[in-house]
Amino acid sequence: MYQADALDFTDKPAAYAELASQVRGLLEGEHDLIANAANFAALVFHALPMVNWAGFYFHDGKELVVGPFQGRPACVRIALGRGVCGTAAQSRTTQLVEDVNAFDGHIACDAASQSEIVVPLVRTDGSLLGVWDVDSPHTGRFDEADRTGMEKLCALFMDAVDRRNA
């Protein structure tokens, strides 16, 4: 059973290392994409302080469609290149947005969201699975330590996805 407790993020690298070890344990031995995505979103959402949304958008071959998440109901479909998620998907680079109000084309699903980090999820064959998106009601909530930590968590998630396809 998982406690899924909030972690102490005073030392961010240490907290992300602990979270990474929890993610490894949670996904180990399970290959179902939706099950792993749902548990990953729940674990990370409850571990991180000051976040109001955490979840997946999956690429359906044409656009991004919302997947398992924690938080308020979200926009269902996002075109590639649109908003923070669509930009991460199209550019395949992590988007770290300190103030969503200053991001041209930001899509406001929850008016409370003020900052956001979106990590692209790319399979080993180079195809786009989707993106991992975390929102905060605080401006400037995410920094380089979050980028490093979140990319590591997503790499572990993608390991489980690629194992499924192996």
Q: Report the residue number, 22 or 37, with the smaller CB distance to ligand SME.
A: 37
Q: Which among 5-13, 23-31, 40-48, 101-109 is the span making contact with ligand SME, rule CB under 6 A?
A: 101-109
Q: Answer yes or no whether residue 58 interacts with ligand SME by CB under 6 A.
A: no
One character per residue 66-85, x = contact with ligand SME (rule: CB under 6 A): --------xx--x----xxx
**Maximum Cα–Cα distance for the chain, whole Å?**
42
Q: Are 94 and 118 in contact (CB under 8 A)?
A: yes
Residue 61 structure tokens: 């071959």
Can you tell me which of 47, 68, 94, 135 binds ligand SME, judged by CB under 6 A? 135
Q: Answer yes or no whether residue 115 interacts with ligand SME by CB under 6 A.
A: no
Phi, psi of 118 (to 5 degrees): -130, 125
Q: How many residues lie near ligand SME (CB under 6 A)?
A: 15
Planar angle of CA 48, 49, 50, nearest 5 degrees: 120
Q: Answer yes or no whether residue 94 interacts with ligand SME by CB under 6 A.
A: no
Cα separation, 16 vs 143, in Å, equals 13
Q: Answer yes or no whether residue 53 interacts with ligand SME by CB under 6 A.
A: yes
**What are the CA-CA distances from residue 44 to residues 16, 64, 124, 150 (Å)?**
10, 21, 23, 9
Site of interaction with ligand SME (CB under 6 A):
53, 74-75, 78, 83-86, 106-107, 109, 113, 116, 133, 135
